Amino acid sequence: PPTLPRRAIRDLPDELVSQIAAGEVVERPASVVRELVDNALDAGASQVTLRLVGGGVRLIAVEDDGSGIPQAELAVALRRHATSKITSLHDLESVATMGFRGEALAAIASVSELTLCSRTGDQASAFALAARSGELRPAARGVGTTVEVKELFFSTPARRKFLKSDATELAHCVEAVRRHALARPDVGFAIWHEGRLVQQWRACGPLHDAQALARRLADVLGEAFVTQSLALEHSAGPLTLHGRAGLPDAARARADQQYCYVNGRFVRDKVLQHAARSAYEDVLHGQRQPVYALYLDIDPALVDVNVHPTKIEVRFRDSQAVHQAVRRAIDHTLAAPRAQALAAHAE
């Protein structure tokens, strides 16, 4: 086979490194939305507002009322591998924030026109930093942060070509916010598209309050999700589970209402999915897909979240224990009303 002429080994320019890294994290507008909402929640926001244009391709602006970024750190926030969330490997093992890789802002800025505008509680005014030009100017806003991302993939036409219609990209953006909203009923979310309010979910209370969770699930997934599901609560050693398991009658043709969270992070995990699937095995027929929202809390030392750049996959130290707990929790939840009905019948 022909061989390439030998060339010298060189460091890639920083910008190119970021663009390559962006390929892993930023697939479409919804990936940007996910990263920016992660950041808003990590900053302690109680309200997150998104403004989108052109399905998020033309503009994604995410505004929060979180802690803000000090003026002196705006430029650092945009640097690759710069983060305020961990300082050591030890921190990584117990990380409680959504972010920790310090990659998102740098990656997004390398494939868009990004502006970071922020104000902390002890600053008299906000400052806006344009990533590409480096221009810094005073701006008007309350405490918190707004990140504006314009013209996504303008410099990477190959990526841009893979984007679908505005309506499809918007739907993916809304789904990204939905995943956050289902884990944070204590935070209000609003999504605007081209001046139109497309979704608004008001803050209603903490995740561990069953009423607040039911309210948020009804707002985000529809009343039927709640009326046709049962509250679930289970604990097994170092892990606890709560949430709602849909009744067999609520099953759908598509697996589009199956939400799993590990320590507050939305995940797509084979162990959890398989456990849920097997719990429904005897009560569901054919290809019907159960609906559920499951929140697993586990000692962070027993789960590795640093498996995938987007952190959508996790690895459990004891996946068998997790599988068993999820299966039992759903089994018990679904069996309870049947047992009650039998008892009532016997009386």
Residues 282 and 291: beta-carbon distance below 8 Å: no
Find the part of the chain contacting Mg ion (CB under 5 A) among 31-39, 51-59, 159-167, 177-185.
31-39
Binding-site partner at residue 43 among Mg ion, ligand ADP, none, CB < 5 to 8 Å by type: ligand ADP
Rg (CA), the chain: 22
Q: Is 219 in the site for ligand ADP (CB under 6 A)?
A: no
Per CB under 6 A, the list member of 65, 103, 166, 269 interacting with ligand ADP is 103
Q: In terms of Cα–Cα distance, which of 194, 201, 152, 211 is closest to 179?
A: 201
Q: How many CB atoms lie within 10 A of CB 283?
A: 17
Residue 64 contacts which entry, Mg ion, ligand ADP, none (Cβ below 5-8 A, type-dependent):
ligand ADP
Build a one-symbol-per-residue string for 42-61: x at contacts with ligand ADP by CB under 6 A, - elsewhere. Answer: -x------------------
CB 319 within 8 A of CB 221: no
CA distance 2 to 76: 45
Q: Choose among Mg ion, ligand ADP, none what residue 128 binds, the Cβ cut-off being 5 to 8 Å by kind.
A: none
The Cα–Cα gap between 100 and 334 comes to 38
64 belongs to the binding site for ligand ADP (CB under 6 A): yes
Q: Which is nearer to ligand ADP, 216 or 311 (CB)?
A: 311
**Partner touching 150 among Mg ion, ligand ADP, none, CB below 5 to 8 Å by kind:** none
Q: Which is nearer to Mg ion, 30 or 293 (CB)?
A: 30
Stretch of residues binding ligand ADP (CB under 6 A), selected from 18-26, 98-106, 199-207, 330-338? 98-106
Residue 244 site contact among Mg ion, ligand ADP, none (CB < 5 to 8 Å, cut-off depends on kind): none
Q: 102 contacts which partner out of Mg ion, ligand ADP, none, CB within 5 to 8 A by kind?
A: ligand ADP
Residues 70-109 touching Mg ion, rule: CB under 5 A, are 99, 104
Based on DSSP, count helices (H) and strands (E) in the chain, helices before strands: 11, 15
- What does 100 bind: ligand ADP, Mg ion, none (CB cut-off 5 to 8 Å by kind)? ligand ADP
The whole-angstrom separation of Cα 141 and Cα 52 is 19
Q: DSSP letters along 126-195, please?
A: EEEEETTT--EEEE---SEEEEEEESTTTT-HHHHTT---HHHHHHHHHHHHHHHHTT-TTSEEEEEETT
Interface characters, 104-143, with ligand ADP (x: CB under 6 A): xxx-------------------------------------
Which range binds ligand ADP by CB under 6 A, 63-71, 230-238, 310-318, 325-333? 63-71
**Neighbour tally for 302: CB within 10 Å:** 14
Spatial CA neighbour of 76 closest among 111, 118, 124:
118
How distant, in Å, are the alpha carbons of 83, 143, 234, 292 from that of 327? 37, 44, 10, 12
User: Where along the sequence are the contacts to ligand ADP (CB under 6 A)?
Assistant: 35, 39-40, 43, 64, 66-69, 77, 82-85, 99-106, 145
User: Where along the sequence are the contacts to Mg ion (CB under 5 A)?
Assistant: 38-39, 99, 104
